[in-house]
Amino acid sequence: MHSRWPRLDGLAYGGDYNPEQWPEEVWTEDVALMREAGVTLVSVGVFSWGMLEPRPGEYEFGWLDRVLGLLHDAGIAVDLGTPTVAAPPWFLLHHPQARPVTREGLPYGNGTRQVHCPSSPAYAAASSAITRELALRYGGHPAVVMWHVNNEYGAPLGECYCETSAAAFRDWLRARYGDVATLNDRWGAAFWSQRYGHWDEIEPPRTSGTVVNPALRLDYARFSNDALLDCFIRERDILHELAPGIPVTTNFMATNCKSVDYWRWAPEVDVISNDNYLVAERSDNYLELAMSADMTRSLAGGGPWLLMEHSTSAVSWQPRNIAKRPGEMRRNSLAHVARGADGALFFQWRASRYGAEKHHSAMLPQGGTDTRIWREVVGLGAELAGLSALAGTVVESDIAILWDWESWWAQELEWRPSAALGYLDRIRAWYEASWRAGLTADFASPGADLSRYRLVIAPSLYLTTEAAAANLGAYVAGGGTLLAGCFSGIVDAWDRVHPGPYPGALRDVLGVTVEEWLPLREGERVTLTWEESAPAAVSGATVWTEAVKLAGGKPVAWYADGPAAGGPAVTRNDLGEGQAWYVSAATDQPATAALLAAVCEAAGVSAPARPAAGAAWPRDLEITRRAGPAGRFVTLINHGSDTAEILLGGRLVSVPSGEVRVIEGDTA
């Protein structure tokens, strides 16, 4: 019925375009400058509900007709927004019961975006109506190549605690569990006298005197994700029905949105697209960027995806919005492309003169075209046009890293062994080690088919269902190498501890038991060694250690000191055709890198290039490959301050500081 990719050639280039903020005379200039910059695709109307439907049921489409016409005449394709993230002010006046409510019980005010409860029937009706009107009017417009539904679902509001949500939650539970007795069992309702006799007794997990049932928290997170996903599906289905053939996207925030489980969303979306904004204070934020891009590609099943938003320079919502340095925007954009994006778009085309985001950078800054940013924007447009051969090629990855939103939710509830052991911290540690080793990682769900990977890392899998444990066991038995990080395998989908010694669901796969968790004090640090009683240090760990006992596994590294001193810190278990490693500590970067090198060697995984003779691998060099019928392309991006030299296919390649090289040809 509908294509999974928009009618676009080469790599898309452009950004959010909000013409409703400008008088019409500016539109002409916009389109001319877009052409100068090589813009091929713009997202239009994402926040325009109030301009399209100024009063309930009264529509003003004329301005949008003219905008689309201008763009189409200029050969610029349109990703047309359903503007449903920001209901106009009339909405809450007419539907006060649709107002979102915080966990503390406070209603949110108007005067901003997302002023609706996701479960509100009034919102469902109003958002469906405007979506239907847009589909009918523009579904056949030649400029429209894609629908952009809503915007960044889950931010700022991932959860609502109003009475409407409470009732919807009870319906959701009834559908999930059938009867209250089953719910009581799953939720461990015997604890603290929480046994339910009737669905009506159930409330959302509102702020309480002390900790709320963790299973209730988890199910509310699932329900909230589903409530948002239902909003998306409702609009998508309207669009599919009324405007067949036009693919639908909604912009994700891949690794930056805790409240949305994108593994559940990805199959529902025609085109995977992503927004990526960096933590400006961090000078190594290209690591974050890579992680976000790899996750987006993984959500797209390894196929192409779109970078829907990033910034040309500073954002405006961080404490200190550091501007990007010359060349940095280019490196950012090309890094996304190198990791599978078939287009790089920005928020936004022209900097707003007013509103909450006017100090956010744009393709066309407040200062106009005589600016560094504009010149770089034009340059990038030309460069992307020259790289159109990359479009449609597929990224080659080396390993998989497991990522699971449910485990993230569960691990970071209150009353955990150590609040200092963060879910993302462990993911980032292993991701960074693999990036710096020159490897490209896919992300995968714990239940996914992993058989095509030689190495799978599960840095942080506190919540491990029995099905996931079985999947991982089968993967290892079938010849795979699994490396599991500390505090994994502990609970089931309702935060119930798996019976028997830790690590519960993964005990048999890993061949160890953990007698006790030994979290470290603030500032405490322990040393890991390769030998039981020798000084060859793997290096250190902080935050977390464990008292590990071998149960089939063999020791790989030892605790030299700390509360687990003398015990195994890292183990390896031979299982079937494969191996399962266990790293029981929150290792620091040196230790993580050393352990990654060891497990890669065991698994037969290696980087696609080699260090130059007598030199170390340049740790700030990004290397990725895309390949397809059109050829094979290696992208090298040097984020460091020195020239990087490597051997690629036996040839010495040199990349100056800050530079990017896209090398075509079979370099393996």
Token code pair at residue 589? 């970067």
Residue 366: CB minimum distance to a copy of itself, A: 6
Q: Which segment (135-143, 472-480, 494-502, 607-615) binds a copy of itself by CB under 8 A?
A: 494-502
* Pairing mode of beta strands 399-402, 455-458: parallel
Per-residue contact flags (x/-) with a copy of itself for residues 73 to 112, judged by CB under 8 A: ----------x--xxxxx-xx------x---xxxxxxxxx
Exactly one of 53, 152, 288, 328 is catalytic; name it: 152
Among 154, 365, 562, 568, binds a copy of itself (CB under 8 A): 365
Which residues in the 135-164 window bind a copy of itself by CB under 8 A?
Answer: 155-157
Per-residue contact flags (x/-) with a copy of itself for residues 578 to 617, judged by CB under 8 A: ----------------------------------------
Contact between 27 and a copy of itself per CB under 8 A: no
- The rounded distance, in Å, linking the Cα atoms of 568 and 548 is 6
- Polymer length in residues for the chain: 668
**By the 8 A CB rule, do 278 and 332 touch?**
yes
309 catalytic per annotation: yes
**By the 8 A CB rule, do 490 and 214 touch?**
no
* 3-class DSSP state of 82: strand
Which residues in the 201-230 window bind a copy of itself by CB under 8 A?
Answer: 201-216
Side by side, the strands of the sheet bearing 660-664 are 394-395, 621-628, 631-638, 660-664
How many residues lie near a copy of itself (CB under 8 A)? 118
Burial (Cβ within 10 Å: 0-12, 13-18, ≥19) of residue 184: middle
Report the amino acid identity of residue 19. Answer: P
Largest CA distance in the chain: 79
The reply to whether omega before 503 is within 30° of 0 (cis) is yes
Residue 183: CB minimum distance to a copy of itself, A: 11
Which residues in the 162-201 window bind a copy of itself by CB under 8 A?
Answer: 187-198, 200-201
Token code pair at residue 478? 């079938």
- The rounded distance, in Å, linking the Cα atoms of 437 and 426 is 17
Cβ contacts of 335 within 8 Å, gap of 6 or more: 286, 289, 290, 293, 622, 635, 637
Exactly one of 159, 235, 288, 309 is catalytic; name it: 309
- The rounded distance, in Å, linking the Cα atoms of 205 and 569 is 38
Contact between 495 and a copy of itself per CB under 8 A: yes
| Strand segments (E) across 520-614 | 525-529, 537-542, 544-550, 554-559, 568-575, 578-583, 610-611
In the bound state with a copy of itself, the residue whose beta carbon lies nearer, of 310 and 339, is: 310
Residue 478's CB is within 10 A of a number of other CB atoms, namely: 13
In the bound state with a copy of itself, the residue whose beta carbon lies nearer, of 209 and 535, is: 209
The alpha carbon of 626 is separated from its chain's Cα centroid by a whole number of angstroms, namely 20
Residue 101: CB minimum distance to a copy of itself, A: 10
Contact between 502 and a copy of itself per CB under 8 A: yes
Contact between 533 and a copy of itself per CB under 8 A: no
Which residues in the 372-411 window bind a copy of itself by CB under 8 A?
Answer: 372-373
Side by side, the strands of the sheet bearing 610-611 are 610-611, 644-648, 651-655
Per-residue contact flags (x/-) with a copy of itself for residues 539 to 578, judged by CB under 8 A: --------x---------------x---------------
Contact between 25 and a copy of itself per CB under 8 A: no
Which residues in the 295-314 window bind a copy of itself by CB under 8 A?
Answer: 313-314
Residue 223: CB minimum distance to a copy of itself, A: 14
- For residue 518, which of 546, 543, 489 has the smallest C-alpha distance? 546
Which residues in the 254-293 window bind a copy of itself by CB under 8 A?
Answer: 281
Among 62, 175, 179, 354, binds a copy of itself (CB under 8 A): 354
Per-residue contact flags (x/-) with a copy of itself for residues 429 to 468, judged by CB under 8 A: ----------------------------------------
Among 25, 415, 614, 629, binds a copy of itself (CB under 8 A): 415
What is the DSSP annotation of 352-402?
A: -SSSTTTTS--SB-TTTTSSHHHHHHHHHHHHHHHTGGGTT-EE---EEEE
Residue 396: CB minimum distance to a copy of itself, A: 36
Among 4, 325, 525, 554, binds a copy of itself (CB under 8 A): 325
53 catalytic per annotation: no
In the bound state with a copy of itself, the residue whose beta carbon lies nearer, of 128 and 194, is: 194
Among 10, 303, 327, 501, binds a copy of itself (CB under 8 A): 501
**By the 8 A CB rule, do 412 and 422 touch?**
yes
Q: Annotated active-site positions, please?
A: 152, 309
